[in-house]
Amino acid sequence: MCTKMENGNILDLFNREKPVKVCAPMVRYSKLAFRSLVRKYDCDVCFTPMIIAADFMRSAKARDSEFTTNKIDRPLVVQFAAKDAQTLADAACEVSPFSDGVDLNCGCPQRIHKDLRKTVDLCQKVEAAGVSWITVHGRTADERHQPVHYDAIKTIKDSLSIPVIANGDIKSMMDVDAICELTGVDGVMAARGLLANPAMFSGVEETPLKCVWDWVDVAVELGTPFSCFHHHLIYMLERITSQPERRVFNNLSSTAAVIDFLQSTFGSPSENTHFHEDSNTGVCH
């Protein structure tokens, strides 16, 4: 549930004719470096990972650890989990100068309720309370990989006047178009689909090699810890490498080894023979 901040015009995104494309709040993953990457590939809005509001307010050290941004990291929504209104309000005030909205996590693990009327009632109540938009993950609390209930998302959308964003199993722009057509939502939020292909919102079906090298540049520039740097690449390379290549790559233990692997497997980004875009697929080779 997102509330607009005074210094942002993030709601203007919903006035366009195309759906708003959002990078989901992902624990450990949707940090500044990855947000910087997906913004290069047509992502409209990025969320921070979920932050526990009480911990965030406890000390400046906690705030510095949990929330990192820069001047070009916009539009940005900060997601908090909180159990009392004052703590949430205090945390929102802290991030207000550096973000465009605050999101209250109401979805771990309760997503849509098995009795959809309860979810609709909750959404109507928070709309009346003044939230700017609502994101709906179309699964119940005990569902993880089951099909998304797009009919439930449509019901929720039809019951509200504020924008609604759909979340769940969005892995391509074809999925984006189909889900928007099916549910009438105003935007989509992707998590695993963007981990596998950070350029997904730009319309390419597989991770372009340019995106891989962009990630190397961004991660090195921002000092991303190796484990995070490596895990992102494991996701990104899964569909564009062979099983033996993945076996080797997954066991690498340093940034230098990763760069050597990428150069030996795909060529350096300056080698045009290895790095041109296929006009039919949009995938770099």
Mean pLDDT confidence for 73-79: 97
124 is in an annotated binding site: no
> Is 208 annotated as contributing to ligand binding?
no
**Residue 8 confidence (pLDDT) above 90:** no
* Model pLDDT for residues 141-183, shown as the tens digit of each residue: 666 777 788 999 999 999 999 999 999 889 999 999 999 999 9
Calpha distance 233→230 (Å, rounded): 5
At 238 the pLDDT is 94
Joined tokens for residue 180: 């928007």
Domains of the chain: 10-202 (3.20.20.70), 209-266 (no CATH)
What mean pLDDT is predicted for residues 191-205?
97
Cα–Cα distances in angstroms (integers) from residue 198 to residues 13, 24, 108, in the given order: 20, 12, 24
pTM score: 0.89
The full length of the chain comes to 285
2 assigned to active site: no
* pLDDT over threshold 60, residue 200: yes
Work out the mean pLDDT of the chain and round it to a whole number: 89
Model confidence at 275, pLDDT cuts 50, 70, 90, reads: very low
For residue 3, what pLDDT is reported? 58
**What does the pLDDT average to over 11-22?**
94
CA-nearest of 268, 196, 271 to 237 is: 196
Residue 27 assigned as binding residue: yes
Tell me: pLDDT of 109 over 70: no
Burial 88-120 (b: 16+ CB within 10 A, else e): beebbebbbebbbbbbbbebeeebbeeebeebb
Sequence-separated (6 or more) residues with CB below 8 Å from residue 13 = 20, 44, 45, 75, 187
Would you state the pLDDT for residue 110?
Answer: 56
Does residue 26 contact residue 49 with C-beta atoms inside 8 Å? yes
Catalytic residue among 108, 180, 211, 228: 108
Longest Cα–Cα distance of the chain, Å, equals 58
Instruction: Identify residue 276 by its one-letter amino acid code.
Output: H
Cα gap 89→32, rounded to integer Å: 23
pLDDT of residue 247: 96
Task: Look up tokens 């057509």; give the residue.
Answer: 181
Known binding residue 192? Answer is yes
Query: What does the DSSP assignment read for 105-161?
Result: ---SS--S-SSHHHHHHHHHHHHHHT-SBEEEE-S-TT-SSSPP-HHHHHHHHHT-S
Q: Is 26 annotated as a binding residue?
A: yes
Averaged pLDDT, 243-259: 96
pLDDT digits (tens, 9 = 90+) for 211-233: 999 999 999 999 999 999 999 99
Per DSSP, 31 falls in state S
